[in-house]
Amino acid sequence: MKKIIERLNPHCGFFYDISKVLVRTRSAWQTIELAESPEFGKVLLLDGITQVTQKGEERYHESLVIPAMLSHPAPANVLIVGGGDGGVLREVLRFRTVRKAVMVELDEAVVSFSKQYMPQISDGAFDDPRVEIVIGDGRAYVEQCSEASFDVVLMDMTDPFGPSEKLYTKEFFAQVKRVLRGAEGVFAMHGESPIARPVAYACIEKTLREVFLCVKSAFAFVPMYGTLWSFKFASDTCDCGSLCEDDVTSLLSARSSKTPKYWNAQIYKALFAVEPAAIEALSHPEARIIEDRNPCFPDAFDPKR
């Protein structure tokens, strides 16, 4: 059986079997593949890197979206940067407070491919009347926004390399802050793995702290990424990790039209538990603020070699 082998850093990685590559195509930006795997069901890969799997994707999508959407006092306008498979969009639309969700994705082919071959990820989200899909560079879109019109901005981006590199810099985060409506606006993104890539983890944290007053981290083991993964929640006044279990339960039932598959109040508490590896990562000597003038992460490597 063919194997997908992905490095998590230059010295270790993970693998899973592929019983069949079902579709392979090349867009203007990347190679897009759909594979069948005994472990994860259908898998979407971009340039050979696992993006989303049928089995277990909710651990990632729910953990990224729900804390931001519950902590903001009234999230009505939401911007998603990247997220072409529609999983983040699906999670956003479960919230009754949402009036408008704009998704800016670089590659139209990822959207059409995901709609056709992995429709269970978006679960009809692309047809919701509250949705606007913009095809283009997420950074250019945010820079061109003239008003602070979003309550929540969620970034679901490929790892910092190639076309996504300029979306992990201090300058970009400052632009995100500019388009957030009010000091309670929340920006959420994945934050790499504090165990597999402690330097990248610490760089993202340090860079967010340059721009936002309150930066909180959450952690979950995400099988499709083969390691402990992190999620960042940044705001000037909204503390995304501070709800009590009772408030999480009552806010979720008041705001959400569907029960999450993975997520609940106890998981919320577990997500925001202090992670010793993350504390240790922050004192790594190579960790630095990522800026436009040098957007390359100090621990950059090729996951396919």
Shortest separation between residue 249's beta carbon and ligand SAM, angstroms = 27
What is the DSSP secondary-structure string of 198-227?
HHHHHHHHHHHHHH-SEEEEEEEEEGGGTE
Q: Which is nearer to ligand SAM, 87 or 185 (CB)?
A: 87
Give the count of residues interacting with ligand SAM (CB under 6 A): 24
Scan residues 131-150 and list those touching ligand SAM (CB under 6 A).
Answer: 137-139
| 190 binds ligand SAM, rule: CB under 6 A | yes
Is residue 232 within 8 A of residue 217, CB to CB? The reply is: yes
User: Are 190 and 230 within 8 A, CB to CB?
Assistant: yes
Q: Which of residues 51-70 bind ligand SAM (CB under 6 A)?
A: 51-52, 60
Token code pair at residue 117: 């071959």
What's the rounded Cα separation, in Å, for the pair 176 and 157?
14
Q: How far apart are CA 153 and CA 101, in angstroms?
A: 10
DSSP-based three-state secondary structure for 303: coil
Q: How many helices (H) and strands (E) does the chain have?
A: 10, 13
One residue of 65, 106, 204, 248 binding ligand SAM per CB under 6 A:
106
Half-sphere exposure of 50 (CA within 13 A, CB side): 32
Amino acid of residue 89: L
Q: Decide if 107 is catalytic.
A: no
Cβ nearer to ligand SAM, comparing 4 with 52: 52
Catalytic position from the list 156, 159, 239, 292: 156
Least distance (Å) from ligand SAM to the CB of residue 33? 12
Please identify, among the stretches 145-153, 155-163, 235-243, 262-270, the one whose residues bind ligand SAM according to the rule CB under 6 A.
Answer: 155-163
Q: How far is the CB of 247 from ligand SAM (least distance, A)?
A: 28
- From the list 33, 62, 156, 192, which residue makes contact with ligand SAM (rule: CB under 6 A)? 156
Binding mask 35-54 for ligand SAM (x = CB under 6 A): -----------x----xx--
The answer for residues whose C-beta is within 8 angstroms of residue 288's C-beta and 6 or more apart is 203, 206, 298
**Distance in Å, CB of 291 to ligand SAM, minimum:** 17
Q: Which is nearer to ligand SAM, 135 or 251 (CB)?
A: 135
Q: Does residue 184 bind ligand SAM (CB under 6 A)?
A: no
226 is an interface residue for ligand SAM by CB under 6 A: no
The minimum distance between CB 272 and ligand SAM, in angstroms, equals 20
Give the whole-angstrom CA distance, residue 159 versus residue 147: 28
Does residue 163 belong to the site contacting ligand SAM (CB under 6 A)? yes
Residues 76-105 interacting with ligand SAM (rule: CB under 6 A): 81-85, 104-105
Helices (H), 72-131: 87-93, 108-117, 119-122
Taking CB under 6 A as the rule, does residue 153 contact ligand SAM?
no
Burial class (CB in 10 A: 0-12, 13-18, 19+), 28: exposed
The answer to whether residue 157 forms part of the interface with ligand SAM (CB under 6 A) is yes
Helix 170-179 and helix 198-211, axial crossing angle in degrees, nearest 10: 50
Residue numbers at the binding site for ligand SAM (CB under 6 A)? 46, 51-52, 60, 81-85, 104-107, 110, 137-139, 156-158, 163-164, 167, 190
Q: Residues with catalytic annotation? A: 156
